[in-house]
Amino acid sequence: MGSNLTEGLQRAPHRSLLKALGITDYELKRPFIGIATAQSSVVPGHMHLSQIVEAVKRGISLAGGVPFEFGVIGVCDGLAMGHSGMSYSLPSREIIADSVEVMARAHDFDGLVLIPNCDKIVPGMLMALCRLDLPAIIVSGGPMLKGLYQNEAVDLNTVFEAVGKVTCNEMTDSQLKELEDTACPSCGSCAGMFTANSMNCLTEALGIAMPGNGTIPAVYSKRLRLATESGMQVVKLVEKHLKPSEIITREAFLNALTLDMALGCSTNTALHLLAIAHEAEVKLTLEDFDELSRKVSQICYLRPAGKYHLEDLDAAGGIPAVMSVLAAGGLINTTIQTVSGLVSDRLRPPHDLDVIRPLNNPYKQEGGLATLWGSLSPNGAVVKQGAVAKEMMQHKGQARVFDSEEEAVTAILGNKIRPGDVLVIRYEGPKGGPGMREMLSPTSAVFGMGLDKTVALITDGRFSGATRGAAIGHVSPEAYEEGPIALVKDGDEIVIDIPNRRLDLNITPEELEKRRQSGIKKPERNLNGYLKRYVKQVSSANEGAIIKA
């Protein structure tokens, strides 16, 4: 194995360098497995990944492979939230994918183990393994445990929403301090079905991770055993020449979308699955999301929509149990390949019929996400309908227009938003933000101030997986590309109709065109470095915000 590095007269210098690493002649004949890790002391979800790496190395060695560790960057969305740092979060996905590609190709690895945990790191690594098509497996760091505040389960989202409660005098500063000290009690990806955990769960449905990858808590020793088993399994994949292109097929994507709808995952999955499919050369569109949204019921009700956390889902049987319920209803393909057998080999009955409900008693009749089209979003928009209050599923209201997230937050916390308003936050798309910033601060402020059942938010940016309420993101085309959202004025009526998948600006086509002819004044962005290059190449949200050459 690793013949391009190790075999023949001309590879004597290469062998010498490998021996400088401590590699023996015996190991030169074994499969070389690259381990990409996002370990850092910056991100709570990644602070423990060195332990996962060591467990993976042990598994690779036990199975007869040689492990080689290298690092990639990782942005903590929670720490980057609400300021200019969030402009770098989504763009970091491309750097991660490129970094893995560079290291794998340059060093001619026979296989890969990819160790992410949070937000953009998971899809970035998935994009890379599809691009490389080397035998590979994902093993994440696992979810954080839920916190406990005044005998109630809490998480990071609780703290974000508490800011609004303090502003309207429903919580004291000392109570907030107690909450912030207890809400994030361990390492791991934030405890609800937010973006990181959504993507880690979907790796199981895509078949590229072992069962349990999405739900086993970060601090459980079971997570280390999973990592060791994943290290052993990747060597078997190399021996079988089983590549991602044989696993991550269109059928696997449809299984992942079905699971997405049943779990009520983050709206960010609509970006990331499209981008991963692009790398896998698999056709996937927002229409696929819409079709399955109408077909698949939401059978789990996890935070931020419901009361359960990832550790509760794990105790109830995890993703194998959810997929077994879906399989019983004929909603997933159980005959396709995964990194460890067929999908059918993984299915297990649920242990708790409230955490994972049967299909005849779902939390919601439709899937967790909905895709909306209309005069305000000709190319689509996305909402987590499973976390929208019943009162807001259909809503008409006057637009309150803001050209940045910061302007909107100032208005919300300044008590300048009225019940019934529709907040339009624009120039926050992939190009306009730039980087399509997440909007957890404004949505949490709306909820914390008790406006979640009367106020909607619409943006060409995106929302954190921790968002709940009538928060509609990914509006395409974005304002920077002169989409209709750029032409909205204060006082315009906006019509939201989630059941009928509509998002409309209630003005005449003639008025819309008149405004367009009058010209669109875009906010100035003083960009340099990576973001300047990113803006020139990034596509629209409805295409996954991918980089186009």
* Torsion angle, alpha carbons of 24, 27, 32, 37, to 10: -60
How far apart CA 243 and CA 139 sit, in angstroms, is 16
50 is catalytic: no
How far apart CA 146 and CA 311 sit, in angstroms, is 8
Q: How far is CA 386 from the centre of its chain?
A: 16
Are 60 and 231 in contact by the 8 Å Cβ rule? The answer is yes
Are 522 and 487 in contact by the 8 Å Cβ rule? The answer is no
Coil, helix or strand at residue 36:
strand
N- to C-terminal Cα separation, the chain:
33
Cis peptide before 419 (omega within 30 of 0): no
Looking only at the bridges linking them, the beta strands covering 471-473 and 337-338 are unpaired
How far apart CA 100 and CA 432 sit, in angstroms, is 28
Are 383 and 483 in contact by the 8 Å Cβ rule? The answer is no
How far apart CA 225 and CA 227 sit, in angstroms, is 5
How far apart CA 353 and CA 299 sit, in angstroms, is 9
How far apart CA 309 and CA 63 sit, in angstroms, is 35
How far apart CA 207 and CA 258 sit, in angstroms, is 13
- Single-letter amino acid code for the residue at 194: F
How far apart CA 10 and CA 198 sit, in angstroms, is 47
SS3 content of the chain, % helix, strand, coil (to 5): 45, 15, 45
Identify the active-site residue in 61, 230, 377, 464: 464
For 92, 484, 502, 544, the CA distances from 380, given in Å and listed in that order, are: 24, 12, 9, 12
DSSP 415-453: T---TT-EEEE-S-STTTTTS--B-HHHHHHHHHTT-TT
* Tokens linked to 406: 């910061």
Are 463 and 455 in contact by the 8 Å Cβ rule? The answer is no
* Tokens linked to 103: 């290291």
- Single-letter amino acid code for the residue at 546: I
* Tokens linked to 385: 């309908």
How far apart CA 247 and CA 337 sit, in angstroms, is 6
Q: For the sheet with 381-383, list strands across it.
A: 370-372, 381-383, 471-473, 456-459, 422-425, 394-402, 493-497, 502-505
- Single-letter amino acid code for the residue at 35: I
Which residues are the active-site residues?
464
